[in-house]
Chain A
Amino acid sequence: MTATLFTNARLIDPEAGTDAPGSLLVRDGRIVAAGAEIALPEDVEPVDCHGKCLAPGIVDIGVKVCEPGERHKESYRSAGLAAAAGGVTTMVTRPDTIPTIDNPETLEFVTRRANAAAPVNVLPMAALTKGREGREMTEIGFLMDAGAVAFTDCDHVVTNTKVFSRALTYARACGALVIAHPQEPGLSAGSCATSGKFASLRGLPAVSPMAERMGLDRDIALLEMTGARYHADQITTARALPALDRAKRNGLDISAGVSIHHLTLNELDVADYRTFFKVKPPLRSEDDRLAVIDAVHSGLIDIICSMHTPQDEESKRLPFEEAASGAVALETLLPAAMRLYHGDQLDLPTLFTALSLNPARRLGLDSGRLAPGAPADLVLFDPDVPFVLDRATLQSKSRNTPFDGQRMQGRVLATYVAGTPVYRRD
């Protein structure tokens, strides 16, 4: 297999915390060397990066691909192309499909489809309970053997604490990672906005941000009980952060994520009932958004994800309360994250710690780094180039992005999986 030398690059190395010019040598799909000066070996083709950023490819936990069940919304092919165009080299997919991915047979079908159709790595997650109904745990052991990298009921909260504690205990014995959605479901029932002045003005049924903290508090207590490996999919409110901090200090095996939408948008973006801004949990206040950015900066929140959720026009062109939740984000994740860079809120090594390094580590992958031996999953991007997003240009079959028509800055130029280009911007 051929080797490639990326020269004249701005290397973003989250592991070392550096952002510096240099070169990167790739051979047989793996990184061989990275640094300021690497001599060009004879058999190698050089790629001139023209001073643009080269970073480890994004590992995106929580991507919804609508196979099986709703392939018209998103297939492994379309999601894979979107991921490649967005610099996402590993999609960690959700099991909230129709039917739920809750048994080894369905998981094997999905894996086959993914490998055949998607140009990027796909690692599937499986449901924690059958049908995501919160009653009986799935075959966690078999599912792990079949390749499940984590277990989650997605936005369904396992309300029965006895069921949840047993599933956590069993998962711990298997060494499985459980991903949960911290939310007190009684308090949040029927809501589609965050309570506060905006929701009151718009007359939308709303949930207190406290529901997230209550959900997290409960899960933390169950972690103390069971010692399970746990990841909170999205922490989006300031009030939940002290609890997360305490749990980490107490040595619990807990990590937390946040979606790019909660880092770059707030509740006011909903404006006149724009349903493309309806996500779950609902967009929060500006104070919450800023607190969560600080938490990513400090490392309290470990992971930034796209929470890519395709919805077709029919599901979105409805009154706000009736419209489906979720937004596509594989392709807009990196440009949106650049808002935080240009706003001097997060530097590039910190961003790629949350986008690539931490999610890879949490799943036990050796990607997410620029170190020798790591897979050459890379994204080459220009952090500065401005553009106006036109949703018609997105690769996803569903184009429910909140960023349509918005000015963005920063764009993917090329994406490599195991050293092979899977996307190149013309």
Chain B
Amino acid sequence: MSFDHRHLLGIEQLGPDDITTILDLADDYVTLNRGPSKHSDVLAGLTQINMFFENSTRTQASFEIAGKRLGADVMNMAMQASSIKKGETLIDTALTLNAMHPDLLVVRHPHSGAVDLLAQKVNCAVLNAGDGRHEHPTQALLDALTIRRAKGRLHRLNIAICGDIAHSRVARSNILLLGKTENRIRLIGPPTLMPSQIDQFGVEVYDDMNAGLADVDVVMMLRLQRERMDGGFIPSEREYYHRYGLDEEKLALAKPDAIVMHPGPMNRGVEIDGTLADDINRSVIQDQVEMGVAIRMAAMELLARNLRNARSSAA
């Protein structure tokens, strides 16, 4: 088993073997989570702090449940409400927390690279729960696990990622992960929501959704942030739904067994048709949430193992 990392900052640092290791371990945790007793004690005695500098309900809850099921002592800090408002810098906050000897630090921050910066200043394991437009590695891993379980494999698939690619850390992590595992990736969205020179990442770019969805195995929809909807990046919500919203008609262009994914929270009727999102034959959106807990359990177990090894060899 290979996973020789101190932190989980992004998919960029992971190799295909690392990804397989996390997914395999997460499969075991899916079984555990479905069983009668959901408790393990691999993180017993360790302290996990969730630091969210940006609002999150789902990701924070998922990390919290994952930590608690593994027996860690979990603490949540809502950073928007705390010392940042009093002018404390990110590094000072990190050093203060570090002095309390946490073992796992789960961080979300609105600025790209902020989690990397923080990881340089603390001596515990840091998990990136999303930094700016940069990366959201556990989301990409849970998406990968969902795809692998639904499709039976995670390679040689045609995967479409649709919507606001430019502002999406989910898209970036997924492009990296699905590329490393040798899939064909298509990006679909209006050109105003495409990052520049994204075609150099080994992906195919489509601004016509109908052409882009032809014969894909997986349709991954992204959330369109409300503040981008009015005139700035796209003309209107209704025009966006008409051209880039996923409905039955557009989905019919994909393979008959194509699955539909969304990282949530959804804007029903903006990027995805509500009925389609609830269609248990096509949509794996609820599975993604379930896989999220398992992936986070697996990632934290692996990091905690490396942390303990590092500490015992240092001692």
Cα of A273 to Cα of B12 in the assembled complex, Å: 14
Which one of A208, A314, A318, A319 lies within 8 Å of B112 (CB-CB)? Answer: A319
* B61: interface (CB < 8 Å): no
Chain B 243-279 interface mask (CB, 8 Å, partner A; 1/0): 0000000000000000000000000000000000000
Cα of A204 to Cα of B195 in the assembled complex, Å: 10
Q: Contact: A321 with B201, CB < 8 Å? A: no
Q: Contact: B91 with A203, CB < 8 Å? A: no
Q: Shortest CB–CB separation between residue B150 and chain A, in angstroms?
A: 28
Cα of A273 to Cα of B197 in the assembled complex, Å: 19
Chain B 81-120 interface mask (CB, 8 Å, partner A; 1/0): 0000000011100000000000000000101111011000
Cα of A317 to Cα of B201 in the assembled complex, Å: 30
Q: Contact: A203 with B116, CB < 8 Å? A: no
Closest to A208 in B: B196
Q: Shortest CB–CB separation between residue A298 and chain B, in angstroms?
A: 28
- Segment 196-214 of B: residues with Cβ below 8 Å from A: 196-198, 200-201
Which one of B89, B112, B117 lies within 8 Å of A203 (CB-CB)? Answer: B112
Chain A 184-205 interface mask (CB, 8 Å, partner B; 1/0): 0000000000011101111111
Q: Contact: B196 with A195, CB < 8 Å? A: yes
Residues of B within 8 A of A201 (CB): 12, 172, 201
Q: Shortest CB–CB separation between residue A220 and chain B, in angstroms?
A: 26
* Count of chain B residues with a beta carbon within 8 Å of a chain A beta carbon: 24
Q: Contact: A273 with B116, CB < 8 Å? A: yes
Closest to B53 in A: A319
Q: Contact: A203 with B90, CB < 8 Å? A: no
Residues of A within 8 A of B117 (CB): 273, 317-319
Q: Shortest CB–CB separation between residue B6 and chain A, in angstroms?
A: 14
* A206: interface (CB < 8 Å): yes
* B64: interface (CB < 8 Å): no
Given known pairs A195-B196, A206-B196, the reply for A319 and B113 (CB within 8 Å) is yes
Cα of A273 to Cα of B135 in the assembled complex, Å: 13
* B133: interface (CB < 8 Å): yes
Q: Contact: B112 with A204, CB < 8 Å? A: yes
Given known pairs A317-B91, A318-B90, A321-B111, the reply for A203 and B196 (CB within 8 Å) is no
Which one of B90, B109, B112, B201 lies within 8 Å of A197 (CB-CB)? Answer: B201
Cα of A204 to Cα of B12 in the assembled complex, Å: 16
* B68: interface (CB < 8 Å): no
Q: Contact: A203 with B132, CB < 8 Å? A: yes
Q: Shortest CB–CB separation between residue B132 and chain A, in angstroms?
A: 5
Residues of B within 8 A of A206 (CB): 196
Residues of B within 8 A of A321 (CB): 111-113, 132
Q: Contact: A200 with B90, CB < 8 Å? A: no
* B296: interface (CB < 8 Å): no
Chain A 134-174 interface mask (CB, 8 Å, partner B; 1/0): 00000000000000000000000000000000000000000
Q: Contact: A320 with B89, CB < 8 Å? A: no
Q: Shortest CB–CB separation between residue B174 and chain A, in angstroms?
A: 13
Cα of A319 to Cα of B94 in the assembled complex, Å: 13
Chain B 59-95 interface mask (CB, 8 Å, partner A; 1/0): 0000000000000000000000000000001110000
* A272: interface (CB < 8 Å): yes
* A322: interface (CB < 8 Å): yes
Given known pairs A201-B172, A203-B133, A203-B135, the reply for A320 and B197 (CB within 8 Å) is no
Q: Contact: A200 with B198, CB < 8 Å? A: yes
Residues of A within 8 A of B133 (CB): 203-205
Cα of A272 to Cα of B7 in the assembled complex, Å: 15
Residues of B within 8 A of A204 (CB): 112-113, 132-133
* B169: interface (CB < 8 Å): yes
Q: Contact: B91 with A202, CB < 8 Å? A: no
Q: Contact: A200 with B195, CB < 8 Å? A: yes
- Segment 10-47 of B: residues with Cβ below 8 Å from A: 12
Which one of B109, B135, B172 lies within 8 Å of A319 (CB-CB)? Answer: B109
Q: Contact: B114 with A319, CB < 8 Å? A: yes
Closest to B197 in A: A197
Cα of A310 to Cα of B66 in the assembled complex, Å: 45
Which one of B109, B134, B198, B201 lies within 8 Å of A202 (CB-CB)? Answer: B134
Q: Contact: B197 with A200, CB < 8 Å? A: yes
Q: Contact: A203 with B169, CB < 8 Å? A: yes
Q: Shortest CB–CB separation between residue B196 and chain A, in angstroms?
A: 4
Q: Contact: B89 with A317, CB < 8 Å? A: yes
Most buried by B among A196, A200, A320: A200
Residues of B within 8 A of A199 (CB): 195-196
Closest to B91 in A: A317
Q: Shortest CB–CB separation between residue B237 and chain A, in angstroms?
A: 23
Q: Contact: B113 with A320, CB < 8 Å? A: yes
The contact sample of 6 A-B pairs, CB cut-off 8 A, is A200-B195, A202-B134, A206-B196, A273-B113, A318-B90, A319-B111
New contact pairs (6) apart from A203-B169, A204-B112, A206-B196, CB-CB < 8 Å: A203-B133, A204-B133, A205-B133, A273-B113, A319-B114, A320-B113
